[in-house]
A and B are shown apart, each in its own frame.
Chain A
Amino acid sequence: NAGVTQTPKFRVLKTGQSMTLLCAQDMNHEYMYWYRQDPGMGLRLIHYSVGEGTTAKGEVPDGYNVSRLKKQNFLLGLESAAPSQTSVYFCASSYNGQGQGYTFGSGTRLTVV
């Protein structure tokens, strides 16, 4: 099915470890986003991309890096995981900057111990 695919779905990391979350979309969307969702808080934007080869910081970018080498993929990296990064991470994509066709992945539950 067309949509946004995130991998992995679950992960447990030790403090200081690194990992990469992969987001792939097959809708030819220009815009891609990484969000984190914490209890009692709205989704917060980590980084986003407005097209292949571009990235930009969102609301909470510290401790994360991203890359968009191919239009369909948007990678989120944690270089040195911290317990404060325990969260549920959602990738999303949209056709344009207005959010047309906004589609979310199923989420990655990350626990840093």
Chain B
Amino acid sequence: KNEVEQSPQNLTAQEGEFITINCSYSVGISALHWLQQHPGGGIVSLFMLSSGKKKHGRLIATINIQEKHSSLHITASHPRDSAVYICAVKEYGNKLVFGAGTILRVKS
């Protein structure tokens, strides 16, 4: 069983839709990261959070430590948001465990 599970694996949305990507994990963590991997392959860190909620532009990330769950929301989605979104959890110690990613396609 993977320590980090993301859902859905694939998501297609129409431009303007509100999008939610979920991440569940099974171990105790000190932080959770959301990453974005562009079609060209580059990976960008979006958020690092250990509690509550963070917002950056149209992106919102939330985490519920008790439920071991995090969500990434995209408001007013745009085709340029098309990418793979990766959840990664920082276990105690130095290990960072990655989910397999959610492939998002936003159609105009």
A is bound by B: yes
The interface of chain A, by Cβ under 8 A from chain B, is 31, 33, 40-45, 48, 50, 56, 58-59, 88, 90, 92, 97-104, 106-107
Closest to B44 in A: A104
| Interface residue tally for chain B (C-beta within 8 Å) | 23
Residues B41 and A45 in contact, CB atoms below 8 Å apart: no
Whole-angstrom CA separation of A88 from B42 in the bound complex: 11
Q: Tell me the bound Cα distance from A104 to B42 in angstroms.
A: 8
* Smallest CB separation, B2 vs chain A (Å): 8
Report the minimum CB–CB distance from B49 to chain A (whole Å).
11
Task: Pick the residue among B31, B42, B90, B100 that contacts A42 (CB under 8 A).
Answer: B100
Q: Which of B48, B95, B97, B99 contacts A98 (CB 8 A)?
A: B48
Chain B's interface: helix, strand, loop or mixed, by majority? strand
B98–A104 contact, CB under 8 A? Answer: no
- With a cutoff of 8 Å between Cβ atoms, the chain A residues found around residue B2 in the complex are 42
Is B33 within 8 A of A56, CB to CB? no
Contact between B94 and A43, CB atoms less than 8 A apart: no
Cα of A59 to Cα of B91 in the assembled complex, Å: 13
**8 Å CB contacts to A: which residues of B65-96?**
86, 88, 90, 94-96
B12 within 8 A of A: no
Fill in one digit per residue for B15-41: 1 if any A CB lies within 8 Å of its CB, else 0: 000000000000000110101000001
| Residues of chain B contacted by A33 (CB below 8 angstroms) | 96
Instruction: Please name the 9 residue pairs, one residue from A and one from B, whose CB atoms are nearest each other, closest first.
Output: A42-B98, A104-B43, A102-B45, A43-B98, A42-B100, A107-B41, A98-B31, A106-B42, A42-B99
Q: How far is the CB of B94 from chain A (nearest CB, A)?
A: 6
Residue B4 CB within 8 A of the other chain? yes
Cβ of A90 and Cβ of B43 under 8 Å apart?
Answer: yes
